[in-house]
Amino acid sequence: MANLNKVFVARLAGLPVIGPDGDDIGRIRDVVVTMRSRNQPPRVIGLVVELPTRRRIFVPMLRVASIEPRSVTLVSGTINLHRFTSRPGENLVLGALVDSIVGVEPEQQPGETENAPARPTRFQVVDVEIERQRSRDWLVSRLATRPRRSRGPLGRRGPVAIVAWSRIRGLDDDAIGTPEHGAASLVEQYADMRPADVAHALRELPENRRLEVARTLHDERLADILQELPHDEQTEIVTRLELERAADVLEAMEPDDAADLLGELPAKDAESFLERMNPEDSAPVRRLLSFDADTAGGLMTPEPIILSPQTTVAEALAHCRNPDLSAALASLVFVVRSPTATPTGRYLGCVHIQALLRELPSTMVAETVDTSLSTLRPTDSVESVTRFFATYNLVCGPVVDDEGHLLGAVAVDDLLDHMLPEDWRDMDLHDEREARP
């Protein structure tokens, strides 16, 4: 196939990266550039490549042997498999430059006398072209732009114009990622990604750009992504959202995750958010905040699968199939007397999903309930919860108070999140992170 010497970055996104031995290494997710002086185009220093394990790594442009319409091939050599993190002075093309608002100098016509320079017209960056030089360096050569907020007939967006870098004004390190810049392209790029993967991608963006993406996401999607971020980055985003918007996002989060986030804030700030939340959503969060974070009460979720004794096995399995539940919470059904909202009526026992699968659909869960399994107390320590899971080979356990009311359940993923170091998301699976060469 033809070896391309110039290409728009949007065409590169998603292309497979092939090693010198023909192995599929991963797929391109972005291009990294460094901004230079005003008159010099940005220099392309490398690619962000997503491995099959979902980890994103940095591949220097010097390692790129060829760029073809359907793949990118690397030259032989060692690849640094440590997770990519951008350095000062580096910018992601899709993550930061695209959607930026720039000025475009009018193109001077032949024979036109140069008087006072015309004010640059404001345009939005749609795509970025990179071009290989004789020196083998890759530079940004042209931008695809469209008039800012322009709409044509029937609400269609304005026409795209290809503009040489020499005519671009206002695109520098201080301008990139400011709140003026949109984030629609990034949100669209993240649409099919898992929340945990989007969280990793957001952490690679400049702070202002990350906030702009957060403001563009709808409440439920942002809530899912926030739950995958470290607590300090959760609070950074939530506290910089408008107060009413932040309250809506907190309502969309799982109560235990919302409680963990609010627990990181000063009590006065946390109360401001709670007051603006729907009382039905804030009540379970307030109950969780009353427990110490290092106890079963602080770890639990108040919304596991809770059913009455008269519920059929078929109905119970339907609850277990809820895609919004984690695998751990879907593994166990808790049977209680009315009311079934926490804190419930008297706790009767639990039924494992494997036991439900062995019963006839019309059987009532009361006939299969396990009353012998021990329960956790809300004041039990993290160590006690860990021993409970290890003893009974469970990934979910009931939390019951002294009066026999079910308060919630601890899932193993929340336990692990609590036990791991705070920076566990920053660590590689086998090594500690090292700076890339």
Q: Is residue 115 part of a domain?
A: no
Q: Is residue 428 part of a domain?
A: no
**Same domain? 124 vs 40:** yes
**Same domain? 168 vs 286:** no
Helices (H), 366-422: 382-392, 412-419
243-252 and 231-238 are packed helices; what angle lies between their axes, rounded to 10 degrees?
A: 140
Q: Is residue 426 part of a domain?
A: no
Q: Is residue 161 part of a domain?
A: yes
Q: Give the residue from 301, 412, 307 showing the smallest Cα distance to 356.
A: 307
Half-sphere CA count of 275, side-chain side, radius 13 A = 7
**Same domain? 2 vs 41:** yes
Q: Is residue 436 part of a domain?
A: no
**Same domain? 42 vs 188:** yes
**Euclidean distance between CA atoms 234 and 175, whole angstroms:** 24
Element (H, E) at 65: strand 64-68
**Same domain? 86 vs 161:** yes
Helix (H, G, I), strand (E, B) or coil at 9: helix
**247 contacts: CB under 8 Å, gap ≥ 6:** 273, 276, 277
Residue that finishes a domain, picked among 290, 325, 351 = 290
Q: Is residue 431 part of a domain?
A: no
**Same domain? 277 vs 335:** no
**Euclidean distance between CA atoms 127 and 145, whole angstroms:** 7
In the prediction, which pLDDT does 422 show?
66
Q: What distances in angstroms separate CA 361 from CA 222, 299, 312, 370, one per listed residue?
A: 37, 33, 7, 18
Q: Is residue 134 part of a domain?
A: yes
Peptide bond into 206 cis (omega under 30): no
Q: Is residue 399 part of a domain?
A: yes
In the prediction, which pLDDT does 113 show?
53
**181 contacts: CB under 8 Å, gap ≥ 6:** 99, 100, 101, 209, 212
- CATH number of the domain to which 387 belongs: 3.10.580.10
**Same domain? 63 vs 204:** yes
**Same domain? 224 vs 340:** no
* Residue at 50: amino acid letter: E
- CATH number of the domain to which 125 belongs: 2.30.30.240
**Same domain? 207 vs 222:** no
- CATH number of the domain to which 227 belongs: 1.25.60.10
**48 contacts: CB under 8 Å, gap ≥ 6:** 28, 29, 30, 31, 32, 56, 57, 58, 59, 84, 92, 204
Residue that finishes a domain, picked among 257, 290, 323 = 290
Residue that finishes a domain, picked among 196, 214, 232 = 214
> For the chain, what is the domain count?
3
**Same domain? 128 vs 238:** no
pLDDT tens digits, the chain, 437 residues: what are they?
578 899 999 999 889 999 888 889 999 999 999 887 667 889 999 999 988 887 888 999 988 999 999 999 998 877 788 878 777 778 889 888 888 888 888 876 555 555 545 556 788 888 999 999 988 889 999 999 988 765 555 445 668 889 998 888 877 544 454 444 457 777 877 887 889 888 888 887 777 788 888 988 999 999 999 988 888 889 999 999 999 999 999 999 999 999 999 999 999 999 999 999 999 899 999 999 999 989 999 999 999 999 999 999 999 999 999 988 889 999 999 999 999 999 999 999 999 999 999 999 999 999 999 999 999 999 999 999 999 999 999 999 999 999 999 999 999 988 998 888 766 655 543 443 344 44
**Same domain? 341 vs 407:** yes
Here the tokens at position 85 are: 């993190």
**Same domain? 77 vs 172:** yes
Range of the domain at 331: 305-419
Helices (H), 217-242: 219-226, 231-238
